[in-house]
């Protein structure tokens, strides 16, 4: 039997146009408005990264990723948030996921200074966490601007016949 | 068709004691971790098979899920 009034932390990644991200305060207000009017309590919203997209999205080759963590009591509101995002002209893509596996320390690592201390403190006492619990392997990217530094695909088993018929077997 | 010698097979796909995520006790593969995901795809952006990546079944599923999320957000290519 699921507990009623169980609050759950969600993670949201928004892909927005870099031009819109230039007026950062307006954008944060816009995203925060979408979340709060559906009953979410925001843990933090941050500019995660600005990078070249792997493929064009709405005719854009570059985009800014905005990462948000929020606390939501009513899980049905997730659908509402997704719909509001798809109707928004500023948000190009949205990915909403449960983030229960992230501790508050993980969120702090990913949000940096943009975390809201009072909400974080409340979550920590609710969950009975200490500051030392860190599971996340990804922190907020530190490089500012420029091309993203992607490593060459390495690994122990480098494909030998990338384009040949042979490779299609595996 | 001649049978491939067992020695040659061993050189191509070496057996590992554990998968790369099990070795580091990774519980969750994050879609934002493009550096790790980059190691699990070919130069064309296709995901490596378990045989080639050396992942265990659970981590291969996690990695596939993470890759699909990263592709949706245009962090990783569908094709290239």
For residue A1, name the pLDDT band (cuts at 50, 70, 90): very low
| Count of H-run helices and E-run strands, chain B | 5, 0
Cα-Cα-Cα-Cα dihedral sign, residues A106, A107, A110, A112: negative
Ordered domains of chain A (ranges, CATH): 8-144 (3.30.70.60)
* C-alpha radius of gyration, chain B, whole number: 15
What's the average model confidence in pLDDT over A131-136?
A: 68
Q: Which residue has the higher pLDDT, A12 or A153?
A: A12
State yes or no: pLDDT of B13 exceeds 90.
Answer: no
* Residue of B13, B30, B74 with shortest CB distance to A55: B74
Count of CB contacts below 8 A, A vs B?
Answer: 77
What are the DSSP calls for A29-57, one per residue?
HHHHHHHHTTTEEEEEEEEEEEEEEEEEE
ipTM over 0.90: no
- Tell me how far apart the alpha carbons of residues A40 and A73 are, in angstroms, rounded to a whole number: 7
State yes or no: pLDDT of B4 exceeds 70.
Answer: no
* Residue of A93, A137, A159 with shortest CB distance to B42: A159
What's the average model confidence in pLDDT over A5-12?
A: 85
Domain boundaries, chain B: 15-72
Please give the CATH topology (third level) of the domain spanning B15-72: 30s Ribosomal Protein S18 (4.10.640)
Q: Is A57 exposed, middle or buried (0-12, 13-18, 19+ CB in 10 A)?
A: middle
For residue A137, name the pLDDT band (cuts at 50, 70, 90): low
State yes or no: pLDDT of B68 exceeds 90.
Answer: yes
CB burial readout A76-101, b (16+ within 10 A) else e:
ebbeebbebbeebebbbbbbbeebee
State yes or no: pLDDT of A154 exceeds 70.
Answer: no
Q: At what angle do helices A77-87 and A24-36 cross, to 10 degrees?
A: 140
**C-alpha dihedral (A78, A80, A81, A85), degrees to nearest 10:** 140
Tell me whether B25 touches chain A (CB under 8 Å). Answer: no
For residue A43, name the pLDDT band (cuts at 50, 70, 90): very high
């Amino acid at each position: 039997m699921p507990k009623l009034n169980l609050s759950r932390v969600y993670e949201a990644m928004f892909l927005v146009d870099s031009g819109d991200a230039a007026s950062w305060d307006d954008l944060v207000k816009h995203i925060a408005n979408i979340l709060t009017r559906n009953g979410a309590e925001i843990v933090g919203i941050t500019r995660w990264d600005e990078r070249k997209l792997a493929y064009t999205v709405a005719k854009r080759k570059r985009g800014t990723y905005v990462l948000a963590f929020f606390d939501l009591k009513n899980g049905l509101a997730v659908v509402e948030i997704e719909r509001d995002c798809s109707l928004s002209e500023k948000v190009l893509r949205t990915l909403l996921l449960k983030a229960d596996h992230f501790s508050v320390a993980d969120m702090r690592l990913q949000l940096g200074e943009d975390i809201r201390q009072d909400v974080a403190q409340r979550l920590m006492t609710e969950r009975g966490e200490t500051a030392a619990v860190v599971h996340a392997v990804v922190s907020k990217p530190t490089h500012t601007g420029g091309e993203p530094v992607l490593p060459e695909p390495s690994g122990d088993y480098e494909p030998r016949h990338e384009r040949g018929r042979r490779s299609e077997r595996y | 068709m001649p049978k491939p010698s067992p020695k040659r097979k061993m050189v191509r796909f070496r057996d590992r004691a554990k998968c790369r995520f099990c070795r580091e006790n990774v519980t969750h593969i994050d879609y934002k971790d493009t550096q790790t995901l980059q190691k699990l795809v070919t130069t064309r952006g296709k995901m490596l098979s378990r045989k080639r990546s050396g992942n265990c079944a659970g981590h291969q599923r996690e990695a596939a899920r993470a890759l699909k999320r990263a592709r949706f957000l245009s962090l990783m290519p569908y094709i290239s």
